[in-house]
A and B are shown apart, each in its own frame.
Chain A
């Protein structure tokens, strides 16, 4: 009777030993390779620190001008430019300038890393069905596993700091860009590709001349999603030592500072909206062939 009501679980002692041996094994691994990994990520850390220092050292009026210019170059819309500059003015006025600069630095670097790794991975997935069947479940895991779970091994390996934070952000934020690059390329019209083949296009000519340009709307949606998701990770990243807007949010959770939490939270939202609008209108402008006088 007991057999049916109680699930036949493995022995308590065995389970404890299993967990212990996994932990010990990983500790061994991190002792062995922790240093090497740290050296590997050193350039990334330097770049991140350099960018953060640069943003913090630059006088605020210049940052405002740069923000306005970038918004203009991206969107060509006066409304978005004014909105972006005003948001930054408000952020500065409410005393969140430094934190915002730190967050900008880590989000930019994370996006860059996701872009550099994610797009080739997406292309590979589109090219080979086998790669797709292998990568898709990995992406599923990355998107659904609670962030705290992969923070543990990352912190064990690299300690607390900017690089583990960056890795955590990237793990969470890279799936959309990979998925949408793959999807975009796979959705490219068969006829357009056949024409490229019929005229003797090489693999590179096919990829860069037809597949990627035609997949751009989807790839852009992926970049956009990646930026949004890395912004939403800054609070969790701040738990393992990443400076930025996440830190005061964390502080306000433990101390019940409503106003502090709200302000910093809204600053993150403001950044997200600016990134979103600018990148989306840039993406739209890249595809002028889609606009204007459509025929039948």
Chain B
């Protein structure tokens, strides 16, 4: 595996009057509750270690109050941590001086916000050009350069509109165009689509995935929506009370949830649609049966396997080489939910 683009190491964030004074106790394992009662400080993030690979979509998910928005703001240092390291391309963002940080924000990482963060006094094209204007590009030139992105996100013809004249979905397209226009390698998306209607959200996810296929940015995507996380994430880290409780491949998380919290979390997902054939297959020689692509969902594979003579199929990769096989039993096993805990203490929703 290649060097990760972003390495978050032992990151702590404590909110309160004197965070440094209580850091030691938190490092030794003081809980959020205890910290609040004893020292009146709030634990924001606790010993976060995440490696974010280049050119992939890394999702950080958690419910509200889990610290996910705080965490993403540490990457471009909109929030200062109490302790820890934030290494981007082998450089510690937290060690940068004001000027370096400004350059980092201008060229290296751009951001899309939950509430869009558009400037209501600027037109669509001026908003899209904002990052370039901040870099020092003359306004007209900046508008020309960002025009491409305005068109790519589907806002051609709306250049001279003001944000207040657009719908939420269109406003977030402006936010996306603004973030893409700076050509930053890292795209930070803070619940970027959470404020949108479900249909428009799916629509925007498609727009983003389409762009990602050709741009290969390093995307850090924050969400509270598991379906969204599973749909777009190459890797997922789940945050609870400021700590990472599980991270890894989405398939892996569904098959082996780390604790009851996650079991609970993945209860309502459509397993057949999310789980892939490759997750359930057994490696080995080819069998007599239809060829099934490894990345096909169980839902789609089920009729194929079921219709075959021996209730079994060959799992193949993109170049049609056989990787192994999958039986009807294996498909069905994938659809079975893990057992729900009956302890009401551990219900979170």
Which residues does A use to contact B, with CB under 8 Å?
Answer: 191-192, 194-202, 205, 209-210, 213-214, 287-290, 292-296
Contacts and interface: CB of A to CB of B under 8 A. Distances in A.
B110 interface: yes
Given A195-B111, A198-B78, A199-B106, A289 B117 contact: no
Most chain A CB neighbours (cut-off 10 Å) among B102, B121, B122:
B121
A198 B76 contact: yes
Interface stretch (B15-23, B30-38, B164-172, B292-300): B164-172
The 9 lowest CB-CB distance pairs between A and B, nearest first, are: A195-B117, A200-B105, A200-B106, A289-B162, A198-B111, A191-B117, A200-B102, A199-B131, A213-B121
Given A197-B78, A205-B134, A295 B166 contact: yes
B142 to A, nearest CB: 12
A288 B106 CA distance: 29
B104 A191 contact: no
Interface size class of B (residues with CB under 8 A): 35 or more
Given A200-B106, A294-B164, A195 B118 contact: yes
B72 to A, nearest CB: 10
Contact of B164 (A194, A195, A198, A295): A295
B130 interface: yes
10 contacts: A195-B119, A195-B130, A198-B110, A200-B101, A205-B134, A288-B162, A289-B120, A289-B122, A289-B123, A290-B120
Most chain B CB neighbours (cut-off 10 Å) among A196, A209, A289, A293:
A289
B68 to A, nearest CB: 16
Interface in B147-190: 162-168, 178, 182, 188
Given A195-B111, A295-B164, A210 B134 contact: no
Nearest to A286: B121
A93 to B, nearest CB: 44
A191 B130 CA distance: 15
A20 B326 CA distance: 105
B120 A194 contact: no
Given A201-B134, A205-B134, A289 B121 contact: yes
Contacts of B182: 199
Nearest to B135: A200
Most chain A CB neighbours (cut-off 10 Å) among B101, B105, B135:
B105
Most chain B CB neighbours (cut-off 10 Å) among A194, A196, A296:
A194
